[in-house]
Amino acid sequence: MSPSPWTRAGAGLLVVVAATELALVEVFWLPLRIGGVLVPVSVVAAVAGNLLLVRLAHRVTGSRIAAVLPAVVWLVVAVAASIRRPEGDLLVTGTGVAGYVNLAFLLLGVLAAAFAVGRVLAAPRPELSRPAVTR
């Protein structure tokens, strides 16, 4: 017995919410330092999160469109964090070593999302059950 459309939609919504929360946490991890040394945890989390959440969204919903949503959500959060707010706040900066980590976060995160979406979209569709044609 396959899950109902409401169950699949709810599971897809949970994956999108998880993608949103993970993207926000990744942005706030960008300046993470341990003992004065910048630790690029957010870069690893962006790559792993985008690869896994796109695949998970496709698996739980069975929809290719729903599989794209975690990648789109990640991109929206990352771009929004790199735009200066009216108060002057800027989360993704571009100076010094932190600028290189931020650039790696954006580039590798987008590449991982594009790769994951490409794998989902390029996968063969499962055959629909068709009645056997007899002659």
Phi and psi of 60, rounded to 5°? -80, -25
CA distance 102 to 91: 10
CA distance 54 to 56: 5
Give the model confidence (pLDDT) of 23-35 as tens digits: 999 999 998 999 9
Domain map (residue ranges) of the chain: 5-122
Give the model confidence (pLDDT) of 86-110 as tens digits: 888 888 887 888 889 999 999 999 9
Mean pLDDT across 111-123 = 94
Phi and psi of 42, rounded to 5°? -65, -30
CA distance 89 to 73: 21
| pLDDT at site 54 | 95
**Which helix or strand (DSSP H or E) is residue 10 part of?**
helix 5-29
